[in-house]
Amino acid sequence: MGLATRRGQLAMAAVLLILGFLLVVQLRSQQAGTGLDRLASQDLTLLVANLNTRNDQLRAEVASLQGQLARVESAAGSGQQTALQLRNEIARDRAWAGLEPAIGSGVTVEITGPVGGAAVGEVLNELRNAGAEALAVAGVRVVAGTVPSGGPGAVTVDGAPAGERIVLRALGDPTALAGSLTRAGGIVALLAATDPDIVVTVTPADRIDVPGTARDLAPAHGTPRL
């Protein structure tokens, strides 16, 4: 509980205590006889007016304290909501940066045949240009500095062999990604024209999973400029 909330509650308790005290005094006065019956009409009128004024002031103070308490509670709720939004944004940014796994719609690309690392890199570039938001090759997340290398049948990604059937996964608009790869004169047609034994299969999917990177993405020489 915050300091403002405790102050509001203490002030409200004090107001209620004063109201109770005034009520007890009034009851005791009525029981013991305070001589009000001997006061002049003008004096009684003035006394009642003063009591009404004081009661109005106390009611106004109670209402003000209740308003402060409501604002404090509302601010606490807003702070929790803001913290939740920030956590969600951080998680999303970490996922798209490659630090965490990501999931979404996209395409799966399977390449078989005598394809080398350079050709796989060209497919990745085509996917990036088509709006891919996250990429993986042979189960390895593609981040800055990830470059497929090696000749046909010996392609590696970050030192890991890609295998004879190279599988790429890309998150993004499935229609845009698939259309960019398979368009006339696109990368799939170019690879087929280069070597008929190269077969590229593009499969759109509503759910594609890409892993997070195992690489340390912290810069070795630079620092962020804020």
Per residue in 79-113, pLDDT (tens digit) is 677 667 777 777 777 766 777 899 999 999 999 99
Between CA 159 and CA 3 the distance in angstroms is 57
pTM over 0.75: no
Q: Categorize the per-residue pLDDT at 23 as very low, low, confident or very high, splitting at 50, 70 and 90.
A: low
SS3 24: helix
Lowest mean pLDDT among 76-80, 115-119, 174-178, 191-195: 76-80
Show the tokens assigned to 216: 């340390």
The pLDDT, as a whole number, for residue 226 is: 56
Between CA 74 and CA 81 the distance in angstroms is 11
Residue 58 identity: L
Decide which of 78 and 119 is more confident.
Answer: 119
- In the chain, where does DSSP find H-type helix? 3-32, 41-97, 117-129, 174-182, 187-194
Lowest mean pLDDT among 104-113, 137-146, 198-207: 137-146
Looking up tokens 């009034």 gives 26
The pLDDT, as a whole number, for residue 120 is: 93
CA distances to 71, 140, 166 from 107, in Å: 49, 16, 14
**Residue ranges of the domains in the chain?**
3-96, 102-210
Show the tokens assigned to 213: 């990177």
Averaged confidence pLDDT in the chain: 80
CATH 3.30.70.1880 fits 102-210, yes or no: yes
The pLDDT, as a whole number, for residue 136 is: 95
